Amino acid sequence: MEQKRQHERIGLEVIATTVADAKAAARGGADRLELVTAMGEGGLTPSIGLIEAVVEAVPIPVNVIVRPHSRSFVYDACDYAVMLRDVRAAKSAGAHAVVTGMLTAAHEVDREGLQRVIDAADGMPLTFHRAFDEARDLHEAFDVLLGFDAVTNVLTSGGKPSVLDATAQIESLVRRAANTHCTVLAGAGLTIERVAAFASATRVRAVHFGSGVRIDNKGLAPVDENKVRRVRALLDA
């Protein structure tokens, strides 16, 4: 019975931008972190010093975003050269996984670029981030990602600015992910007040919080440990 309860536990990922954020999220019951800098730009690759310090500071997995700039999710050869260096450096610094995403100019998953990052990650799992939401066809893109064993999570708002407005889309993707190696990680716009109903309606197995567990719900404010704890309690209930 205990094993079944653990299996059914909904994963809680929290964005951290500082060591203090990371510690607060871990104390509040987050299952893992997404470590970023420049949250106001949607998250960019953090420094090696920050990665090392956060990995040392918390007992939970630290997933590190690798995103070289915020111009778009279409990358050129120079961008990839930077990204591959960052992936290797994050791995050396103790990252559990890489969070990344890349598209072609036609808004399809850049399969070649993704494979290069997977090769550089050398066994580290990957989360494909919200570049996914800019794909031309979400279901087609999800099927492409299912072809990569290293992609264990897809962070998505269902193609909407707020995931709370994409219940049907998330539910459909969750069904598509059933019995695969990949988990739908629902995020963007989630609130403490609505997370339990959302999780119930979509049967999602993992959720992602940024502003919703911060002081005054502001993206540039610190993580509020008590808000993380409330989300964890609601998901467990």
pLDDT tier, 8 (very low <50, low <70, confident <90, very high otherwise)? confident
Residues 6+ apart with CB under 8 A from 190: 163, 164, 198, 207, 208, 209, 212
DSSP per-residue letters across 155-217: EE-TTSSSGGG-HHHHHHHHHHHTTSS-EEEEESS--HHHHHHHHHHH--SEEEESGGGBGGG
Residue 1: per-residue pLDDT:
34
Residue among 67, 52, 50 at smallest CA distance from 102: 67
Amino acid at 112: E
What are all long-range contacts of 214-222, with beta carbons under 8 Å and residues at least 24 apart?
217/191, 219/39, 219/40, 220/39, 220/40, 222/18, 222/20, 222/21, 222/24
Residue among 138, 124, 59 at smallest CA distance from 95: 124
pLDDT digits (tens, 9 = 90+) for 13-37: 999 999 999 999 999 999 999 999 9
Cβ 206 vs Cβ 200: under 8 Å: no
The owner of tokens 């049967």 is 203
pLDDT tier, 168 (very low <50, low <70, confident <90, very high otherwise)? very high
Domain spans in the chain, listed from the N-terminal domain onward: 2-236
Residue among 57, 27, 149 at smallest CA distance from 128: 149
Tokens of 77: 């050869």
Assess whether pLDDT exceeds 60 at residue 87: yes
Q: Whole-number mean pLDDT of the chain?
A: 95
How far is the C-alpha of 80 from the C-alpha of 88, rounded, in Å? 12
Query: What is the assigned CATH class of domain 2-236?
Result: alpha beta
The owner of tokens 């399969």 is 111
How far is the C-alpha of 11 from the C-alpha of 235, rounded, in Å? 9
Query: Residue 219 gets which letter from DSSP?
Result: T
pLDDT digits (tens, 9 = 90+) for 91-104: 999 999 999 999 99
Cα 139 to its chain centre, rounded Å, is: 18
Would you call 62 helix, strand, or coil by DSSP? Answer: strand
